[in-house]
Amino acid sequence: MNAPLTNRYTRLVGIDHPVVQEGLGPYRTPKLAAAVSNAGGLGTVSMPGMPVDIQEGARTFRAHIEEASALTDRVFAVNIPVGVDSHGKVLEFTDVYIRTVLEMREKDPALARKLRVMTTSAGFPGDYIGAIKDAGMIHQHKVGSTRQAVKSEEAGVDVIIAAGFEMGGHAPAAGVHTYVLVPTIVEAVSVPVLLTGGARNGRSLASALAMGAEGVAMGTRFILTHENSDWHPSYIQALLDAKEGDDVAFDGVYGPCRGLRNTASLELLKAQNAPDADPVALTRHKIESMQRAQTTGDTENSLVLTGQIAGAINDLVSVAEFVPRIAEEAADILQSLAASIRVPAPA
């Protein structure tokens, strides 16, 4: 496969193009993850929400990982948010899901050769960094501030994902956008950095590389692909119909969350400001609402997660063509810019 852009990140992970499919939990993504990996990028199997029966959730997660593994011979990743309670204690689902992945790899060497990357997000993964590293996995952690990036590198994380506030789903509480955040983090750490939030094409990738990142991670753009056949068509159509300004940030499960402005998100904005709101009931409602939108297609009365970039996307693409194409587009843009630079003649 032609790989016009190679760097530390592509060599570290073992992929052809510096293009990553974001975690899209609590949704089903094994087919999409395999398609992205087969196209030369890094696909990601998302965690399946937080069911009351965590062990059942672990079985579902295991099944999704096995499905993705059966569909690709390339490297792929899993994404697991690090949830904590009001006392800072890691929630049970995080512990169970991380241990499920490590146990699967230990028992199945063939799977371990493909499932090489774990992405964590939301809370700090300090208690698990050692176990992930000891298992031989590449550990990516998503952050929303330079302070978090430095802390993560010092703790041993291999890759930093710099998350701009324009991203979909759970966005960083710091509220810093990619254009400010990415170059600042690049200057503060020595490990590879990925940009997430607002990326959709080769121009986005070229911009990320110009800011010092070594790749892009995209969520909304990969939702809107032909290979994402597990999601309800009405959800897909709602994102295709979205225009600039149709998104809104509301209080999610781990902090701010971005989705479409609709009845569900506006009602949630009112509920979260109510003095008698039950935080546990609200959390359960949010997760169920997010899953309902994806599975039933109720895009008005359920939470439809998406990034601001949805307003700039109006088509579905084929993953197999899209991933290598944006790498080629980015390379062409960077070569064109380099050719336009006038080098002064020697004095």
Q: What is the pLDDT of residue 51?
A: 75
Query: Nearest 5 degrees, angle CA 284-CA 24-CA 153?
Result: 100
Q: What is the pLDDT of residue 272?
A: 61
Most distant CA atoms of the chain, gap in Å:
75
Residues 156, 150 contacting (CB under 8 angstroms): no
Question: For the residues 12-39, what does the mean pLDDT come to?
Answer: 94
Residues 6+ apart with CB under 8 A from 318: 225, 226, 227
Task: Tell me the per-residue pLDDT of 292-335, one tens digit each, with 9 for 90 and over.
Answer: 898 899 999 999 999 999 999 999 999 999 999 999 999 999 99
Instruction: Output the six-digit token pair for 207.
Output: 């911009």
Task: Tell me the per-residue pLDDT of 180-220, one tens digit each, with 9 for 90 and over.
Answer: 999 999 999 999 999 999 999 999 999 999 999 999 999 99
Burial code (b: 16+ CB inside 10 Å, e: under 16) for 195-229 equals bbbbbbbbebbbbbbebebbbbbbbbbbbbbebbe
Q: What is the C-alpha to C-alpha distance for residues 318 and 21, in angstroms, rounded to an integer?
A: 14
Task: Tell me the per-residue pLDDT of 236-295, one tens digit each, with 9 for 90 and over.
Answer: 999 999 999 999 998 877 778 899 999 989 888 776 665 565 666 667 778 888 888 988
Q: Does pLDDT of 47 surpass 90?
A: no
**Residue with the two structure tokens 């193009």:** 17
